[in-house]
Amino acid sequence: MFKISFVESTDVTEKGRQKSDVNTAAWLSSSYAKRYFDVERPHIRAGIRQSIGPMALQLGEYLPASVVDDFDLPMLVKTNDCFDTTSDIVVDPAFLPFTPEVFSTVVLPHVLERHELPHQVLREAHRVLMPEGHIVLTGFSPTSLIGFQRWLRPTAVCAGRYYSVRRVIDWLQLLGFDVVGRSMFHYAPLSRSKKLKSTFQFLESAGDRWLPMTGGGYMISAKKREASATIVGRPRYTAKKSKLVAATAKIQANDSSDSNLDLNT
């Protein structure tokens, strides 16, 4: 069995990669991350439930093991987040070393905001997906209280560049995906205080009803569109009709000339 890890970008230096790994590991082990993933778990579970297939690819570790274990996937190729010199294969999500159309599901938990080429990451996911295969991804929204925490309290949130739901959906549709499901959640800021959590609890119910696009996290599930040769629209035969009309006019002309000849006789 191969040990696989992935790097966030081909342009990341060794010093920058080590710093990023330390920051990522520190946030993942914090209570901020635990509270966030507790809210995210049912949403990504719902997205994966729509896309169960024979072979699945998961990039990164921003997904609790219990989520994929519950589905008992027949074959799951999983990479870890941190660069490891002992790995047999080092994978860049923007340049996957897999043949086209080999996976039925690709799961990208918080991968786009940590890569310098997010659109290329989605392009590679599209390439390795089977026709009618599904992509399930999660991310942090920049227009949310969690997005604002990047500037007010950076240690409370995951570092990276956040992309809006609308922008990610535009990328998916341009690449040939049909969005089949999406959800937004965690409208309150991340906090370790139980008192503050209860204070902001009203935001969760109010956000779902009144401000659904201000959630701190989102899940998008999309299906790879299969090429089709279906004819759309009603076929027209204007050229053929014009020929018939011309032929009729010619016959009428011949008939009229024949009748003239008979009268003269």
Tens digits of residue pLDDT in 133-167: 999 999 999 999 999 998 888 888 888 899 999 99
Per-residue pLDDT tens over the stretch 95-121 = 898 999 999 999 999 999 988 999 999
List, in order of start, the domains of the chain with CATH numbers: 4-224 (3.40.50.150)
| Cβ atoms of 114 and 88 closer than 8 Å | no
Rg of the chain taking only CA atoms, in angstroms: 29
C-alpha torsion 222→227→231→232, nearest 10:
30
Q: What pLDDT is recorded for position 261?
A: 46
In the block, tokens 């699945």 appear at: 56
- 0.85 surpassed by pTM: no
SS3 label, residue 132: strand
Residue 173, both tokens:
């549709």
| Cα within 13 Å of Cα(119), Cβ side | 7
Close Cβ partners of 148 (under 8 Å, ≥ 6 residues apart): 189
